[in-house]
Amino acid sequence: MLRSLTLSLAFIAAFCSVVSAADVEPRTVVITWRSGSPSFLAWQAAGRRGPITDLTPLVGAHSTTPYILDATLTAVDRAHALRNHTVIRQTPDRTISRIMVVKYEADVDPAYVARKLSSLPDVQVAEPLSRHHLLEMPNDPDVGLQYHLPLIRAIDAWDVLPLNKTIVVGIVDTGIDTAHVDLGANVWRNSGEMGLDANQQDKRFNNLDDDGNGFADDWYGWDFLGADGTPDNEPLPGNLHGTHVGGIVAAVINNAIGVAGVGKNIRVMPVKIGYDDQFSSTVGRSSDGILYAASMGASIINCSFGSGSPSFADVTVIEEATTLGSLIVAASGNDGVNMAFYPAAYPQVLSVTATDELDQLTYFSNRHSSVDVCAPGLTIYSTVPGDRYDYLNGTSMASPVAAAVAAMVRLRFPDYSPDETRAVVMSTCDNVDTLNRIFMGLYGIGRVNALKAVSESSPRWVSVIRPTFTDADEDGFFEPNERIRLSLDIRNELEPLSHCVVHVTPAPAAFQPEIVTDSIVVGPLAHGQTVTLAEDVLIDLPSDIPFNGELRLMVTITDSSQFVSRQMITAVVNPTYRTIDVNYLAATVNSIGNIGYNDYPSNVQGVGLSYKGGPSLLFEGALMVGVQPRDLPNVARGAQTDIKDTSFHPLRIAELRTDSVPNGSRIVTAFSDIYDPWSIGLSITQNVYAMTADSLKRTLLITLDVTNRVDTVIRDLFVSQFYDFDIGPSGSNNGCAFDRSKGIGLIQNTTRPDLPSVGVAMISPLPMNFFALDNDGDVSSPSIYDHFLRAEKWTTMSGGIRRANSRITDVSTIIGAGPFSLAPGESKQVCFVIAVGEDYTMLSSDIASARAAAELMGLNAAPYKEIPIEDRISYIEGSPLLGPGSHDVSFAVGQTSPVTIDVIDLFGNPITTVVDNEQFQAGTYTRTMNLPNIAQGTYFLRMTTFASSVIEGFGVVR
Q: Which residues are catalytic?
A: 173, 241, 396
**Alpha helix (H) residue ranges in 870-942:** none
Helices (H) and strands (E) in the chain, counts: 15, 53
Do β-strands 714-725 and 618-626 pair in parallel, antiparallel, or remain unpaired?
antiparallel
CA distance 289 to 320: 13
From the list 263, 253, 248, the residue with the least C-alpha distance to 299 is: 263
Residue 234 and residue 354: Cα distance in Å, rounded?
31
- Does the bond joining 601 to the residue before it have cis omega, within 30 degrees of 0? yes
141 Cβ neighbours under 8 A, 6+ residues apart:
381, 390, 391
In angstroms, the CA 288 to CA 69 distance is 7
Strand ranges across the sheet with 682-691: 649-657, 664-672, 682-691, 699-708, 827-837, 757-762, 744-749, 734-739
Q: What is the CA radius of gyration of the chain?
A: 32
Q: Which one, of 63, 390, 79, lies nearest residue 213 by Cα?
A: 79
* Beta strands across the sheet bearing 350-355: 222-223, 266-272, 167-173, 300-303, 327-331, 350-355, 373-376
What per-residue string of b and e applies to 457-494 under the rule 16 or more CB within 10 Å gives b?
Answer: eebbbbbbeebbbbbeeebbbbbeebebbbbbebbbbb
User: What stretch of H or E contains 817?
Assistant: strand 811-822
Asked if 636 and 624 count as a contact pair (C-beta separation under 8 A), the reply is yes
- In DSSP terms, 571 is beta-bridged to 551
Going by C-beta distance under 8 Å and a sequence separation of 6 or more, which residues neighbour residue 863?
A: 851
In the three-class reduction of DSSP (H, G, I as helix; E, B as strand; rest coil), residue 772 is classed as strand
161-181 burial code (b ≥16 CB/10 A, e <16):
beeeeebbbbbbbbbbbbebe
- Show the beta-strand stretches assigned E in 379-533: 380-384, 388-393, 462-464, 468-471, 483-487, 489-492, 497-506, 514-515, 519-525, 530-532
How many beta carbons lie within 10 A of that of residue 807, not counting itself?
Answer: 16
Whether the CB-CB separation of 679 and 657 falls below 8 Å is answered with no
Q: Which residues pair with 611 in a beta bridge?
A: 585
Residue 506's nearest CA partner among 556, 443, 471, 468 is: 556
Residues in the chain: 958
Helix (H) or strand (E) holding 465, with range, is none
**Helix residue ranges per DSSP H, 393-459:** 395-412, 418-427, 450-455
Separation CA 893–CA 613 (nearest Å): 44
300: Cβ contacts below 8 Å, ≥ 6 apart: 167, 168, 169, 170, 326, 327, 329, 403, 406, 407, 410, 421
Contact 125, 419 (CB under 8 A): no
For residues 621 and 595, the answer to whether their CB atoms sit within 8 Å is yes
